Chain A
Amino acid sequence: MTAILRLDDVHTDIGQYHVLHGVSFDVPEGGVHVLLGRNGAGKTTTLRTVMGLWRARKGAIVFRHHDITAMRTPDIARLGIAYVPENMGIFGGLTVEENMRLASASGEFDKDRLARIFSIFPAMQKFWTNQAYALSGGQKQMLAISRAIIEKRDLILIDEPTKGLAPSIIRNMIDAFREIGTETTILLVEQNFHFAKALGRGVGVIEDGRIVHKGQMADLAADADLQTRLLSLTAEAH
């Protein structure tokens, strides 16, 4: 299986702090792949480094056949990578429509894609002309994800989309991600193991800026001891 994204011994410093200590993993093409880890483990830093928002000091990041390690963020995005940051990156002063318009390369919408987004997230249609700051947290998250899929992308990086969401919305998100994952590759950062388990094919676990486990999600999901060791998950969290 070919990897769509490959990180090889990536080191990232933030200011004087050495945060990533040689992160290496492959994301195979297609489906949802999950990066798990405790608070402060380096998940967000990893995604930001892929996007060029932090610079890797050492190591290589390859997307398809492009070495993107030293590329500028806009150029990385234009290769077909979308990013849904942890804080969602919504433009609050812009309407839902304007937020989406910026994310579409031509400024025009593909009718079919838009219709599909409206069917996955009806709230987007309902609040189409509203300013985005007035959306609820969950709706903002939906907008952030809609923005990432309004164009055909090859890879979507999503940072903790379930943060602060009600369980019922999380169930909807699972369905939405399943559907999105059929046409593109998703690298999902999660703390919610239930959510990650429902979606992930491959899984990596990061700890203190290093990958400490790689494998199939099914194997991790079946191995309670491993979960406890890697994620300090207690039985109730399953």
Chain B
Amino acid sequence: MGSLDRIGGVYLLPVILALIAFVFIGQPSSWATLTVAGLSMGMMIFLMASGLSLIFGLMDVLNFGHSAFVSFGAFIAATVLAALGGWLVADSAFLNIAALFAAIGAATAFGAVAGWAFERVIVKPVYKDHLRQILITMGALIVAEQLILAIWGGVPIQVQRPAILTGSIILGDVSIEIYRVFAFLLGLAVYVGLYLVLNRTRLGLLIRAGVENREMVEALGFRIDRLFVGVFMAGSALAAMGGSMWAGYQGLITPAIGGELMILVFIVVIIGGLGSIQGSLLGAILVGLMANYVAFLAPKLSLASNMLLMMAILLWRPYGLKPAAKG
């Protein structure tokens, strides 16, 4: 392990994966396009996974309802974008961006408020009881999916993208979708923000300590339950933000969107290690790259490849790549 750590440790894995893919794919332009797609997909999955990882890390709460926030985020964003359709096609970059931010903002705000209600009403009564957590959050997920069906109907909904983010940048013979670059940059900004809060503020210090040893944080005089509500709201808001980004990325959404993504999100949280956002980022990038490379090389194996990746990593590191220390 020592020598691996010296040259970047587990953070080197995405680079190794990209190099292996390069050999198999053979064409540099396809490889570059797939790599950009993988990175942007990874960043969107990161938005969805980071909250789940912190929620589990801090309170050992298994929230199977997390994907409901992803779905709602996607549908709310689609609705806002449709309502502001005029702005999207306007010949003004400002209106384009305003519509996009209104959509992402609405989804994120909804995620925070709904997350608060979800935590207080559904999760709080079942702290420390995993079986009931699974049952009640799965029940809530079913209710949420029915709500989406009732509000938006079962037919797939077309999602519009702002004019300024449609199309591609052509660099040589590599074509890069602008929306993907935007998704990547937004995810990166969120990661940096989370990193700074966790590592440079007292609130972040409390969260990191709470992930390690909840009881001791309480014995030092801090209300962990209040901290947890805040983390739950932030995690739900990020999931909704991820859903809103994913909606624009896919262009067509169905009520099953959250459930489909959740498999990848769980894989990310497991291979990244619970309770750490560095782990979630690393896991998300790996999963995003793997999904895109394999979809190109052997389309039928795309999801299976990520399952295999998870198994391989767990055999090597049973607690994931970058788990938070447990006290």
Contacts and interface: CB of A to CB of B under 8 A. Distances in A.
A77 B219 CA distance: 6
Contacts of B219: 51, 53, 73-74, 77, 82-83, 85, 89
Interface in A61-92: 72-74, 77-78, 82-83, 85, 87, 89-92
A93 interface: yes
Interface residues of B, number: 20
Given A53-B219, A133-B325, A93 B206 contact: no
B205 A93 contact: no
B198 to A, nearest CB: 11
Contacts of B223: 72, 74
A226 interface: no
Interface in A47-65: 51, 53
A105 interface: yes
B209 A91 contact: yes
Nearest to B210: A91
B177 interface: no
Interface residues of A, number: 25
Contacts, number: 66
Contacts of A152: none
A93 B324 contact: yes
A82 B220 CA distance: 7
Interface in B272-325: 324-325
A102 B217 contact: yes
Interface in B216-266: 216-224
B6 interface: no
B327 A91 contact: yes
Interface string B201-214: 01001101100110
B208 A93 contact: yes
A51 B216 CA distance: 11
B325 A93 contact: yes
Contacts of B224: 74
A94 interface: yes
A101 B205 contact: yes
A102 B218 contact: no
B53 to A, nearest CB: 15
A89 B219 CA distance: 10
B91 interface: no
B222 A74 contact: yes
Query: 4 smallest A-B Cβ distances: which pairs?
Result: A89-B216, A77-B221, A93-B325, A73-B218
Interface of B: 202, 205-206, 208-209, 212-213, 215-224, 324-325, 327
